[in-house]
Amino acid sequence: MPMRFADYHVHSNHSCDGKATILEMCQKATELGIVEIGFSEHMDFEPEDSGFGFFDYERYTAEVKDAQEFFKSKLVVRKGIEIDYQEAFEDDIREWLRDKEFDFIIGSVHYVNHELIDYELLEDNDLERVYRAYFNEVALSIESRLFDVVGHLDVVRKFIDVGRAELSSFDYVERMGMALDMIVEKRMHLEINSKPSLLKETNIGMLPNEEAVTAFIGKGGRLISTGSDAHSIEEIGGGIREIMIFLKKFKENKLQLLFE
Ligand SMILES: [Zn+2]
Ligand SMILES: [Zn+2]
């Protein structure tokens, strides 16, 4: 089956930083020729996070259902969630998920040691230290078996100037390889996140990068997911066609998107 034009990483206004309604985003998706949209609202467990306490499961469930009915034959609408993982909150996450249903669950690491991974953190800290802590959390998130998809792997890269990247000065490649091994072994979907390509002023490309995706497939990984990480109507589907073109060279490998 040829790969579908699907966006499985979309934030509506059910996320604290989302700008549009679910219906508005679905409408735009149909105009772009997207056949399947997966909402992945933020669920945050870090009390310091601006999104903490924002997500409303009942309201979200009702609105996704409305959208599914409204767009019936035109667009497949999936009810997903992007959970911010830190080991410190693993029990809380498990407990929270117990009485809820999602079509897919993305596990993403945005924090290390309760500190948000952003430009500031990387200015104040050694890159190797941040990466070490990051890959450690990623490994724990995979081992938790709570999630279907590993969200924007290598997100640290989003906040470093690629030209400056001293990634070769430490065991970055080995650590990335270990994370990919675990994703293959646990049969999780590796998300290819095209958000950075929307940030025209940078040259970061997709997350993880082409090299890592190639390594993942080389290790036997077949399960993937494509997502733009859109937070507004303008961003829906952004960069996904480019990912699909990149993945064409692996068509012999029979990659499988979510729900295939
Ligand atoms: Zn995220
Ligand atoms: Zn996101």
Q: Which ligand is nearest to the CA of 41?
A: 2
Report residue 205's pLDDT band, with 50, 70 and 90 as the boundaries: confident
Ion ligand 2 residue ranges (Cβ < 5 Å): 82, 229
pLDDT tens for each residue of 66-85: 999 999 999 999 999 999 99
How close is the Cα of 27 to the center of ligand 2, in Å?
20
| 249 secondary structure, DSSP code | G
CA of 173 to the centre of ligand 2 (A): 24
Give strand pairing partners of 42: 82
pLDDT at residue 61 greater than cutoff 70: yes
Contact 117, 127 (CB under 8 A): no
What CA–CA distances, in Å, run from 63 to 57, 59, 149, 167? 10, 6, 23, 43
Q: Per the omega criterion (within 30 degrees of 0), is the bond before 196 cis?
A: no
28 CA to centre of ligand 1 in angstroms: 22
Q: Which of 105, 113, 116 is nearest to 89 (CA)?
A: 113
Q: Which amino acid is at 60?
A: Y
Phi, psi of 31 (to 5 degrees): -65, -30
Q: pLDDT tens digit string along 5-27?
A: 999 999 999 999 999 999 999 99
Q: Which domains are assigned to the chain?
A: 6-253 (3.20.20.140)
How many angstroms does the Cα of residue 110 sit away from the middle of ligand 1? 6
Distance between CA 235 and CA 216 in Å, rounded? 27
pLDDT in tens, 130-183: 999 999 999 999 999 999 999 999 999 988 876 555 788 889 999 999 999 999
* Ligand that comes closest to the CA of residue 231: 2
pLDDT at 80: 98
- CA of residue 196 to ligand 2 center, whole Å: 12
Ligand nearest the Cα atom of residue 117: 1
Provide the whole-model pTM: 0.96
Residue 47, SS3 per DSSP: coil
Per-residue pLDDT at 204: 79
List, in order, residues 6 or more apart from 102 with CB less than 8 Å away. 79, 80, 81
